[in-house]
Amino acid sequence: MTRDDALKQLSHIGRERAFGRHVGSDRLIQAGLDALIAGVESPSLAVLAGLLRSEEPEAPALFHQVLEELGLLFHPPADPRAAKWAMAYWVAGQIADGSLDPAVGTDLIWADIAYDLGYPIELQPLVHCAHNLHGWEESWRVPIEELNREAIEAAKQFLSKGPAAEAGD
């Protein structure tokens, strides 16, 4: 793992946590260890990376401190609806760039975002993809790879419309 990869991983986990997703202490510690090995420097990073199993409860606070020291701390919008829209763009971006499996990403948008926003029209193509990917069976005449491509395209279309998309809701 390169230094840039390690920083990207820390940032990604930080966003997950900022959007309210549970991230286990073991994963926080491993990300710290990966970053330390990759040459990332931060006063609290070695402490995070060196936590023992009995010290895992300290990991979330240390991880937050590491992000702050590295300038990677992310604060979602205070407004709950705006935070859900920000999460939708973040997840769609990961689907589009290939860093998140389309089935996992569209399911996240369907279950954790669209529902809370009242299923806005802007998210319907992604929700439709989630339904298709979730229900897919080998007996279908459509290969799963095609459904994945459709989900990636739906994510790119959503992103191309930009934040103005939620203005209509």
pLDDT in tens, 47-86: 999 999 999 999 999 999 999 999 999 999 999 999 999 9
How confident is the model at residue 92, as a pLDDT?
97
Closest CA to 26 of 65, 53, 66, 63: 53
Mean pLDDT of the 6-17 span: 95
How confident is the model at residue 137, as a pLDDT?
84
Mean pLDDT of the chain: 92
Mean pLDDT of the 103-130 span: 95
Give the chain as a DSSP string.
Answer: --HHHHHHHHHHHHHHHHTT----HHHHHHHHHHHHHTT---TTHHHHHT--GGGGGGHHHHHHHHHHHHT------SSHHHHHHHHHHHHHHHHHHTSS-HHHHHHHIIIIIITTTT--GGGHHHHHHHHHHHH--TTSSS-HHHHHHHHHHHHHHHHHH-GGGGGG-
User: Left, alpha or beta for 2 (phi > 0: left; psi -120 to 50: alpha)?
Assistant: beta
Q: What is the pTM of this model?
A: 0.82
106 in Cβ contact with 133 (< 8 Å): yes
